Amino acid sequence: MAATQDSGKVPRSGVLKRAFAILDCFTSEQPTLTLTQIMQRTGLPASTTSRLLKELTTSQALTRDRFGAYSIGTRLMEIAQYAQPMLNIRELASPILDKLASMTDEHIQLGTLDGLEMTVLDRREGKHKIPIYYHIGDRLPLVPTAVGRTLLAYASTETIDLILNDEQFTWPTWQTPRPPAGLVRQDLERIRHQQVALLKVPDAAVHSVASPIFGKTGSVIAAIGIVVNASEHQLESYVPIIKAGARAITRRVTSPKPCRVLPPWEGN
């Protein structure tokens, strides 16, 4: 007889949800965590946490050091290699990011839409020090950044509504006041029309400009941006540069791969 929820067995979806809750505990700032820290972050009971940690370690999704602390394991790294579309974008965009960083000496950011947030695919440090504390692979809110707002502009209507309808979208506390959702929607329309986002928030430490990257089907697959210190008054001058960079990446993404030419089999 098939087991039901009343039989004491946890549904598979519940087990997966708890396992991912554990994996989500690890960040670039804290890549190694103890059992106690994971329990505190997930709110799971000690017995459940210990059992899932054992299973995740056995499957090499996690690794456990000699002090008993856990970190992400090699198996997840192997599986991540199959995220080919995202890896391709990063690889194809890399030389353009290098060129933009060299041309501007500013911070360069490449991101893609990930649910109701953006994931940082790649970045280049600028020569000017600015308060940026994220890393590659981190997830960021969409509205407060030019790259995120560009991605939101080309997102589905459902995604836009989910983020803006309650007017409680994530907004940095030091950037006040939070803009009205109607004003953000107007900006999204302007971004779609001009294919560029300019974000200059009063009292913000940084300003940013971004442009969309299109894939082979014509849909936006990522966005690239330049982040500058707010004390600099030259954000508009970067518009043609960032749009040219986005177009260059789009061409690299949409161009057919060159055929591999094999040498002749005949000997000399």
CATH of residue 58's domain is 1.10.10.10
Q: Is 267 domain-assigned? A: no
Look at residue 130 in the predicted model and tell me its pLDDT.
Answer: 82
Give 216-247 pLDDT, tens digit per residue: 889 999 999 999 988 876 889 999 999 999 99
Say if 266 falls within a structural domain: no
pLDDT of residue 7: 38
If residue 152 lies in a helix (H) or strand (E), which one and from where to where?
helix 146-153
The alpha-carbon radius of gyration of the chain (Å, integer) is 22
pLDDT at 187 over 70: yes
- pLDDT for the residue numbered 15: 86
Both 179 and 236 in a single domain? Answer: yes
- Total domains, the chain: 2
For residues 91 and 213, membership in a common domain is answered with yes
Same-domain pairing of 208 and 88: yes
Q: Are residues 151 and 190 in the same domain?
A: yes
CB 9 within 8 A of CB 30: no
Indicate if 103 and 65 belong to the same structural domain: no
Together in a domain, 135 and 242: yes
pLDDT attached to residue 263: 64
Domain assignment present for residue 226? The answer is yes
Angle at 203 between CA 187 and CA 137, to 5 degrees: 65
- pLDDT tens-digit map of 13-55: 588 889 989 998 988 778 999 999 999 999 999 999 999 999 9
In terms of pTM, does the model score above 0.85? no
Pick the closest to residue 139 from 160, 165, 121 (CA basis): 121
Residue 158 belongs to what domain range? 84-254
